[in-house]
Structure 1
Amino acid sequence: ISTDSLKEKIDEVRRFLSVALRIANAHTVDFYTRDVWRAYMGMDPEEVLTAVNSGCDRTGAPKGKINVNTTYGFCDVSKKLVDVPALLRAAEAHSLPGLGVCVQRQRLMETLRVMDGNSEEPLLPDEFMSSKKAHEVPAMAEVVAALSRCCKVKQVIDVGSGKGYLCSFLSMQYNLQVFGIDCSSTNTRGAQERNRKLKKFSRAYQKHVQFSSNHEVPNEETRDRWENADEREERMPDHQIPTFQVQEEEDKNGGKEREQIDMAEAQCSLSPDQKDTSLSDLSGTREPSEPTNTDLENPFFSELAPDIVEQSFPRVPPSQLSAEERERRKRENLERKARNGKGKSDNKNLYSPLTSYVTAETELRKLITELEDAVMVGLHTCGDLAPSTLRMFEAKQELRAVCSVGCCYHLLSEKFDEDGHECESGVYGFPMSRYLMEQACFCGRNARMSACLAMERVTVGGGLPMESLFYRAVLHVILQDHYDAHKSERRVGNVYSKASSFVDYVRRALRKLELDELKLTDSVIQSYHDLYISRMNEMVAFNMLKVILAPCIEGLILLDRLCYLKEQENVFYSALVQLFNPLLSPRCYAIVGMKE
């Protein structure tokens, strides 16, 4: 899409949001204290829910040209919503699919002229990460690898690398030197620990696959245990991360999987004659075989950093080996390295986790002394980190390409939001482009919070946590009626998950706010619940409208980032690409750019 066409699309979205954004910016906490429904809506909640539910099965781009009402369903006089179907049509037309500005991943790969066939044996990401990550990581890694080939670079910098899922995959599958930068030392340590687990699992996996291709791979329950262990590590202080957690997990797992791995390892430790005998006992036949070094030759292990991977020691101490045996092993090692192209010159093909807080002004060469031309990537980088990634790409000549998937729009800093916090660096996350900067464009925090809602999931039955939102709104009424704390800077937080009832919720919230809970009896608290429960459908309908508007707000933020790249003279290619299935990964869009 050309820069002029992109600006026209941005103008269309801005015109629509100038009318509809007031719904997205209404705060749910104030829903009853400010009587939000009557202030914004000119119809009953049942009418809204009926219209929304009947229109939720229409996803994707509109079938034909939509004659959008100039008011988008809002009355010109009262400014209230009076025509929900008109709003639904307008929201669909002003979402990214409706605007027709996105490039599909396959189209991008064709543009980058990537060969469809890949002779490399692919790793099985679902063996060591969650189903969501198993969907995201290979898709993004394929694009990043294609960018690196187009730009003829071998280094990748992953900003906000977290536990290193993408880093590990890029390093092992595509033979790239990857530097993962994360501001959390816990995440960096967790990435190292996870790589150790990955290596240990892969060694056992390769052995028992070699032993029998019919054996079961670790089931979903086992993978979930590993995933939960990784999440626990992120929440633990550095000094509490267990060094030998994998061994403990294996001891707990037991069962058939452990037996299979033990049998495979036992086979690898037998002599050739013993191995033949053991295999013949299992299969009922005996065929001559030779011992193999599949485990040692597997490039899976050579891709991992030496300080991350546990060293494999021989079963027999070297001092007990004869001179002939030591010479034979040395010769075999040299031959194996020559066959695989491995040696000291290949030490760059590693994943190196680094701990640092990164901004647009970060000097990468101070962090990475061996930095060469590289591709910069970010998978679900939070808040201002995504725009900082794009600014670094534009400013630093050594960064030849970028692939950035952002998230957490509510954490973005906005230059023209009067209610927002001032950014210390003076560099804001929105807007980025000169085009929107000149127009002093802003969304507002509540609207950006709405942009985080996943419309695709809600429309297929994912639902919203309505009871918790309802509890919080009614609590605000209680605070306004009986306390002076309804405008307090203190936050209630996640009290709902621990509460057994509305009364319990209110009492927990009052204690957290350090207010006198004895001031109210249980019957008084319950009376507020009974009074507003009949109006809960107003909140349900209103929040469904927020969900409908979410893709339009997200679209404006992403179009601003794309426009920023198109304004840069040194960027010759830029695109907004849908990388993931939004049902599996709601934040599914990537900003891709390449320099000349």
Structure 2
Amino acid sequence: MAFNDIPIDTLKRKIDEVKRFLSISLSISNAHTVDFYTRAVWSTFICVSPEEVLCAISSTQDRMGAIEEKENATFGFCNASKKLVDISALLRAAKAHCLPGLGVCVQLEDLMQNLRLMTGTLAGETSEEVIAPDEFMNCKKAHEVQAMSEVVASLAKCCRVKQVIDVGSGKGYLCSYLSMRFNLQVYGIDSSSTNTHGAQERNRKLKKFSKAYQKPNNAPRKQTLDSEDESKQHSRNFENTDEYKNSITKEKGRFEPRAEISALSKQVTNDLSTSDNAAECPLDPNDSDSGSSFLSMLCLDVIEDVSPRVHPSQLSLEEREKRKRENLERKAREGRKNNSDDRLFSPLTSYVTAETELKTLITELQDAVLVGLHTCGDLAPSTLRMFRAKQELRAVCSVGCCYHLLSEEFDQDRQGCVDAVCGFPMSQYLKAQACFCGRNARMSACLALERVSAGGGLPMESLFYRAVLHVILRDHYNCFKSEKRVGNVYSKASSFVEYVRRALRKLDLDDTKLSDGDIQSYHEHYSPRMNEMVAFNMLKVILAPCIEGLILLDRLCYLKEQDNVSHSALVQLFDPLQSPRCYAVVGIKESTV
């Protein structure tokens, strides 16, 4: 079974398991932190102490399988009161109902092996060293681009296509890498003209160093490195002699290509770092190893030594004619190459939906792979719908994000659905059950369990300030104004008193109504209960992967319901510590295999 596809009946059974668990536990995720004190959220949902919750979470690895669930409780919730009474049972259930616990994902290594088998490629043929794209982007983006581009390139090879369409392409990181490293013709579509213009400018600068992204030829490269090592050793020995010191003045006026290349690479790196905020993985100009590794990947015609120039008057007529012909041929080759490079990556500005007619955007459209790297909200499901509807789209690789921006069909407000087409649910299976999560739950799904578990923590003080502000609004202003956001007031305030005054002014309320003492008294009253908020938000973090899992299983089920999709899978592409939205939905059309 290619892709190790999970059968749709098994997938539906897994969806039912997650849905049943969330039907009981989702109330915690849907509780808004702003209302934490005004609506007594802790006592409404939890029957254990905050200390017990935090202790159980911190020791979850030791206690997960050691305690039986209490009588008259389901997943740790009392069947009568619907409150949480057994934290250990909830933790066990949450672990069992996230994607890793359900066992529905394909391992990345298995996916790549299956694609090689479908392509007829031997495993040994892809064993060359992978060039990391970390010269001109931050570490997180470099990790994502490298992992996703390998999958996309394999899908393109499997489907025998040379075009890739990247929806929500942003600054074009993935597009540039796919076009330069894999020689694919990439169309990056983004709704922001600023992004597409920036992507085009960035790609223009990167073309100077396009050889750095090409697959290396290991054998010649090794020989080059060996010869360079010998040359460097000889140079070091020579530098200690009087002959070297005497030669300095003779070489003073000679052109030094290495120094000029270092300046050029530094200039381009600075340009790209400035335009793309790529400060997390910069080249250190003082680090000789960094400079050497970068220069070693540049094309040979950039780093080759320049011979001393000979004045044309000293050349024979035959030699001058020969050089003239060579220069004309070289310029013609460069012109053809530049024209080819221009066609490899084409940024386009357009708002894309499932109904977008790609042929109106791409006049040279051929069969292609559709990709989306961290497409926000409804753009991820639109990508999958587009893949199903357009015959020329042979494969898809979609990584979504920003679940809180998804529109829900069975949301009572029905806000955000375009032409009654909503982002969740997608599958007919969940549509038939009128499945609904809620905005707060979808926002909770964006929390990063792995990062929090690794000590990343949550911005608890700012959340605490906001919740206490809500109490002040209730007590003194007879209104909550919940829909009007306070915004980023916390970062500008040095104390709780200043935070409240800034927030009140932003809400167009009279802050002189309260003295500093009145405001501070609220902080002192609720500070002892801050541990309730910490524990409650940790429960939200624990449940986040289960909500994300339901959303992604719905997308996978949607693909499996389509007659023209032969293979589909969920695969973890990224390290969740570096990129919390790490799962991709991958699919291939029927006739491509």
TM-score range, shorter chain: 0.7 to 0.9
1:239-280 deviation line (CA, Å, top 9, x unaligned): xxxxxxxxxx99xx9767799999x999969751479xxxxx
Work out the CA distance in 2 between the residues paired with 1:344 and 1:543.
54
Matched residues in 1 for 2:142 and 2:62: separation? 27
Quick one: distance in 1 between partners of 2:492 and 2:338? Answer: 55
- 1:169 matches 2:146: no
User: Which residue number corresponds to residue 580 of structure 1?
Assistant: 574
Aligned to 2:486: 492
| Counterparts of 1:204 and 1:398, CA distance in 2 | 32
SS in 2 for 1:179: strand
1:552-596 Cα distance to aligned partner (Å, 9 max, x none):
000000000000000000001000111111111111100000001
TM-score normalised by length of structure 2: 0.80
For residue 49 of structure 1, the aligned residue among 49, 54, 62 is 54
C-alpha distance 521-361 of structure 1, shift in aligned 2 (>3 A): same
- The equivalent residue for 1:379 is 373
- The amino acid across from 1:45 in the alignment is P
* Aligned residue among 170, 188, 191 for 1:183: 191
Where does residue 422 of structure 2 map in the other structure?
428
**Structure 1: which amino acid aligns with 2:380?**
A
Greater Cα shift, 577-586 or 466-475: 577-586
Structure 2 residue aligned with 1:350, among 320, 344, 348?
344
**Residue-by-residue CA offset, 1:96-146 (whole Å, 9 max, x unaligned):** 000000001111011112544338775431111111111111111111111
What pairs up with 1:358-507 in 2 under 5 angstroms? Answer: 358-507=352-501
Aligned partner letter, 1:90: A
What secondary structure is seen at the aligned counterpart in 1 of 2:454? helix
2:204 is aligned to 196
- Could you say what secondary structure the match of 1:90 adopts? helix
Secondary structure in 2 matching 1:574: strand
**C-alpha distance in 1 between matches for 2:302 and 2:372:** 42
Alignment partner of 1:80: what SS? coil
1:523 is aligned to 2:517: yes
Residue of 137, 146, 150 corresponding to 2:145? 137
Number of aligned residue pairs: give it: 522
- Seen in structure 2, the aligned counterparts of structure 1 residues 180 and 336 have a Cα distance that, compared at 3 Å, is closer
**TM-score, structure 1 as length reference:** 0.80
Q: Is 356-365 or 325-334 further displaced after alignment?
A: 325-334
CA deviation string 1:127-176 (max 9, x = no partner): 11111111111111111111111111110000000111111111111111
Aligned to 2:328: 330
1:229 matched to which residue of 2? 274
Q: Is the 8 A contact 1:130 1:223 kept in 2?
A: no
- CA spacing shift, 1:72–1:330, aligned 2, 3 Å: same
Closer, same or farther in 2 for the Cα pair 1:368/1:67, shift >3 Å?
A: farther
Q: Which amino acid aligns with 1:131?
A: C
Cα contact 1:128–1:223 (8 A) shared by 2: no
SS of the aligned residue for 2:81 comes to coil
What is the rounded CA distance, in whole Å, between the counterparts of 2:419 and 2:365 in structure 1? 26
Q: Percent identity?
A: 65
Determine the C-alpha separation between the residues in 1 that align with 2:302 and 2:164: 39
CA displacement 1:375-423 (0-9 Å, x = unmatched) = 0000000000000000000000000000000000000000101245152
Kept in 2, the 8 Å contact 1:365–1:371? The answer is yes
CA distance in 2, matches of 1:153, 1:424: 32
Q: State how far apart, in whole Å, the 1-side matches of 2:132 and 2:577 are.
A: 21
Is the alpha carbon distance of 1:120 and 1:186 closer, same or farther for their aligned partners in structure 2, counting shifts above 3 Å? farther
How many Å apart are 1:193 and its aligned residue?
2.2
CA shift for structure 1 position 467? 0.4
The Cα RMSD (Å) is: 3.6
Query: Could you tell me which of 153, 159, 162 is aligned with 2:167?
Result: 159
One-letter amino acid matched to 1:112: L
- Is this contact kept in 2: 1:577–1:592, CA < 8 A? yes
Aligned equivalent of 1:75: 78
What one-letter code is carried by the residue in structure 2 that aligns with 1:98? G
**What residue identity is the alignment partner of 2:136?**
F
Q: What's the offset of the Cα at 1:433?
A: 0.3
State the distance in 2 between where 1:266 and 1:332 align: 12
1:272 paired to 2:272: no
**Cα distance in structure 2, aligned partners of 1:322 and 1:422:** 70
Distance 1:127 1:259, change over 3 A: closer
Give distance in 2, aligned partners of 1:18 and 1:205.
48
Aligned mate of 1:12, from 11, 17, 31: 17
Q: Secondary structure of the equivalent of 2:77?
A: coil
Deviation at 1:78, TM superposition (A): 1.2
Does the 8 Å contact 1:420/1:445 carry over to 2? no
Please tell me the residue identity of whatever aligns with 1:496.
Answer: Y
* Alignment partners' CA distance in 2, 1:409 and 1:94: 18
Matching of residue 128 in structure 1 with residue 131 in structure 2: no
Q: Could you tell me which residue of structure 2 aligns to residue 32 of structure 1?
A: 37
For structure 2, the residue ranges without an aligned partner over 5 or more in a row are 1-5, 215-223, 233-257, 311-318
CA distance in 1, matches of 2:158, 2:212: 36
Q: 2:115 aligns with which of 112, 116, 127?
A: 112
Change (3 A) 1:577 1:519: same
Distance, in Å, in 2 between the alignment partners of 1:512 and 1:225 is: 38
SS of the residue aligned with 1:494? coil
Report if the CA contact (8 A) 1:579-1:588 is conserved: yes
Q: Which residue identity does 2:175 align to in structure 1?
A: C
